[in-house]
């Protein structure tokens, strides 16, 4: 696919996800970092399961090269989805990520550091790990909307614009 079509497809996907209303993170008890992470995780879940709705996602927070499970308060926000687990429920191996509950393949979706860019925008490190040959790392743009925090998607560099 030509680069400009890929960019347009990414923009369309981001717009559809934004309009779906399911990408919003709402701050509970004033914890905006948790709401920002929730927005990124919701974006990752929608993107990663688009072609494989049964795929299990293991959510983790990067912490200096180590991954930890999200806080229980954050994991409860995903209680409606049976395909979402914490990283503690998955085993990360070089050749694959395993859902320990089913023994099936899974994807590790992570968020890392949050850099505030003003009062209503943040850039969040994150990405996916499926195996040693299939992993991606992004910086996600997250903005505060009236409904809450929403992840607009990865910040893409080097695209030619038409």
90-128 pLDDT, tens digit each: 998 889 999 999 899 999 999 999 999 999 999 999 999
Comparing 114 with 28, which gets the higher pLDDT?
114
Q: Is residue 138 within 8 Å of residue 155, measured between CB atoms?
A: yes
Crossing angle of the two packed helices 3-20 and 32-48, in degrees rounded to 10: 120
pLDDT at res. 12:
39
> Is pLDDT of 146 > 80?
yes
The model's pTM is: 0.79
> Is pLDDT of 5 > 60?
no
Give the CATH number of domain 3-154. Answer: 3.10.450
Comparing 161 with 34, which gets the higher pLDDT?
34
pLDDT at res. 79:
81
> Is pLDDT of 74 > 50?
yes
Helix, strand, coil percentages in the chain from 3-state DSSP, rounded to 5: 25, 40, 35
């Amino acid at each position: 696919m030509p680069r400009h079509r890929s960019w347009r497809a990414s923009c369309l996907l981001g717009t559809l996800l934004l309009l779906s209303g399911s990408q919003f993170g709402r701050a509970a008890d004033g914890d905006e970092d948790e709401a920002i992470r929730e927005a990124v995780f919701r974006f990752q879940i929608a993107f990663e399961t688009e072609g494989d709705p049964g795929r299990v996602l293991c959510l983790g927070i990067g912490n200096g090269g180590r991954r930890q499970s999200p806080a229980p308060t954050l994991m409860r926000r995903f209680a409606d989805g049976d395909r979402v687990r914490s990283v503690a429920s998955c085993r990360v191996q070089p050749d694959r990520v395993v859902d320990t509950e089913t023994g099936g393949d899974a994807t590790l979706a992570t968020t890392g550091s949050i850099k505030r860019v003003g009062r209503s925008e943040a850039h969040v490190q994150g990405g996916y790990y499926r195996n040693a040959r299939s992993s991606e790392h992004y910086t996600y743009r997250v903005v505060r909307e009236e409904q809450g925090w929403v992840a607009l998607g990865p910040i893409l560099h080097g695209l030619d614009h038409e």
